[in-house]
Every structure is written in C-alpha cells, then in structure tokens.
Amino acid sequence: MDTAATNGAPADAGPPPAPYGDGPPPPSTGGRTTVRFAALLLLVPTVVIACRLADTDAVTPVPQLLAFLPWMLVPAGAALLFGLLARRRILMGWAAAVLALTGWFVRPYDTGLTDDPPGPVVAQLEVLTSNVEFGGATEALVAAIRREQPDLVFVQECEYRCSEALEAEISRTDYPYRNVVEGGGATGSAILSKHPLRPARGVPSTLAMPGSVAVIAGRDVNVQLAHPLPPVPGGMSLWHRELGRLRSFAAAAEGTPTVLAGDFNATQDHAAFRRLLDAGALRDSATLAGAAHTPTWPASVRRPLGTQIDHVLVSEDFSVRDARFLDLPDTDHRSVLVRLALHDVR
C-alpha cells in the first residue's frame, strides 16, 4: 500500500519547504540594529569628508570637525568593523571609502622638499611662534627665547604680564626691535626681532595682529603675526572675515619676501586656510621641512589625532632647513621653531 497516498499526501511530493523559502534567512533584529548603528556612525565623517573633497568649509559644525579630521578615522573604522560583522557589502564599501579618503587627507604627507629658490642665500634666520595661552607660558617662553635665540619671535595671547616680562627679562641688546600690542586675556600680541623693524599697518582684527617690515641683509621682509578668532559656533563669520583679511594681506605682499606666523586657528584641511596660501603663493614651513600635520593643539595630543593650527608661512624667497615643535608648560599650544634661508631671487 502507498503510505503517502494513505496519509493524504501526493505520491510525488518533495520534502517540506524551508520556513523562509529557498534564500538565506532574513537578518536578525540584532543584525539590523548593528547595520543602523554603523550607518549612523558613518553619517558625520561622510559629510565632513565630502566637504573636504568639495573644497568648502560649509557651516557649523563642519569647520570645527574639519579641524579634527583625523578623529573621523575612529567612527569610520568602527563602522567598517560592524559592516564586516554584519556581512553587509554596501556598508563595508561605504565605510572603506570614507576610511580611505580620510586616511588620504590626514596622512603625514611630509614632502621634505630640498629644492632651493633661485639665487644665493643672503641670510640665515630662525623664526619662533608661540601661543602662551593668556600669558600662562610666559616664563617658559622667556627661557626658550634665551636658549634658542631665534631671529624673529611671534607671540600670541601675550597678556599684560607677558608683555611686561618680555620687556623686563628679554635683553634689549639681544632684541632691540619690537612691535608689542598690549592687551588683556587673548588680545595681546608681540613681535621681537634682532633685525631692524619699520612700522607697518598690520591686519585689523579682534585679537591683535601686528605687522612690521624687517630689514634683513639689506632686503625688506614683511613680517606679520596671525591670530584670527577661532571658528566657534556663532563666530564663523568673524573667523571667515579675519582669515580673509590675512588672505588679502598675503595677496598684496606677493612678490615681496614675507613671513606670516602665528596661531591661525585653521589647518590645511580648511578651505579658507588653503585659499590664504594660494593668494600669496605662501608655503607652510612645517610641510617643506617634512613635518606636515604635526599637531600643535591641543598640546597633549600627538599624531594622528592632534591638529596643526600654528604655522610659519613663508614666501618663495625662503627655503626651509628645519622645523621643530617645542612643548612649553602652561599652554595648550606647542610652539613652532623653523630655520630658514633667505635667497636673493631678484
């Protein structure tokens, strides 16, 4: 007797269907949650890297996040890991693309360029820029100046006690030429020079940005301190405006030996900073010395997560021999000390 027929089932019936059909089972609730969480992790770095690719600083919070572009490696890497665990190819590809692009922009693209400008070297000089954080690192700065003996010193956030200490403790014999703007809190700034200084207009700003013309080896050199306001929420228009004024200064100075140094509150990942470089054909000393993306703020953070907002920018009349970063106590910035050679390119 046909057992199947007796049980009411067709004789040619196959095995019972799988509960979810022939395809793979649908993702579990936990798997869907993992995918959604990974996608959320990718949203911010995707927007930030898209703005970097589009050469725009966009609006808050993008400029603030661009300052910390290396930090985007963390959520992108985590999203890639979650994508691997969930076995979602689209998610893995998205995360890998964001991770690769972020890595490309934050790589230590140290050029270490050694090509000198045309013309003989007419002077060797060292330039120091230091943000002493409301004067807190004044004592350490004085010690650094005495030890290193740089030719030009640019000081930001030189609060009253800072300007008083520079006057009292830095010998006029060593630094007879000065352009000091006294002010409280972060507003004060100072330029000290071993070379003669002539008055210059400087750049109008909220925090003092004095400028002078230094006479070095018989040549006029524009020396300008940079300290625009930071790109804080609600202050973006002022940040753009003051970086724009520095860009105008750089454009007007093109063709003249120029040193523009200080706390720019901007990195090479900010479009506004790149436009400043392009306007005056200026170059970042740290990059030329093989130290691009070396963090200067916050002082306690190192590669790859720190950010370089303190710069010494120079015109094409200069070659860069060396760049060092000094850790001074009682400030959240690292100081930048570069060794330059001035060439006669006329």
Which of residues 32 and 255 earns the better pLDDT score? 255
Q: How many CB atoms lie within 10 A of CB 288?
A: 24
Q: Are 289 and 322 in contact (CB under 8 A)?
A: yes
d(CA 328, CA 136): 10
The mean pLDDT of 14-38, rounded to a whole number, is 65
Q: What is the enclosing helix (H) or strand (E) of 253?
A: helix 236-253
d(CA 127, CA 61): 33
Residue 14: per-residue pLDDT: 57
Displacement of CA 257 from its chain's centroid (Å): 24
For residue 4, name the pLDDT band (cuts at 50, 70, 90): very low
For residue 117, name the pLDDT band (cuts at 50, 70, 90): confident
Residue 344 pLDDT exceeds 50: yes
For residue 212, name the pLDDT band (cuts at 50, 70, 90): very high
Residue 292: per-residue pLDDT: 87
d(CA 221, CA 205): 22
Crossing angle (nearest 10°) for helices 271-279 and 236-253: 20
d(CA 160, CA 260): 23
Q: Are 339 and 320 in contact (CB under 8 A)?
A: yes
Instruction: Enter the tokens of residue 95.
Output: 């995360």
Residue 2 pLDDT exceeds 90: no
One-character DSSP codes across 121-138? EEEEEEEEEEE-TTTTTH
What is the rounded (10 degree) CA torsion for 157, 158, 160, 162? Answer: 140
Helix (H, G, I), strand (E, B) or coil at 311: strand
d(CA 250, CA 256): 10
List, in sequence order, every beta strand (DSSP E) within the chain: 121-131, 152-156, 177-181, 189-193, 197-199, 211-216, 219-226, 258-263, 283-284, 310-314, 318-326, 335-343
Crossing angle (nearest 10°) for helices 89-106 and 29-53: 30
Q: To the nearest whole percent, how much of the chain has pLDDT over 90?
A: 79
d(CA 58, CA 173): 49
Residue 17: per-residue pLDDT: 56
What is the rounded (10 degree) CA torsion for 128, 131, 137, 138? Answer: 60
DSSP conformational letter for 110: -
The mean pLDDT of 236-265, rounded to a whole number, is 97
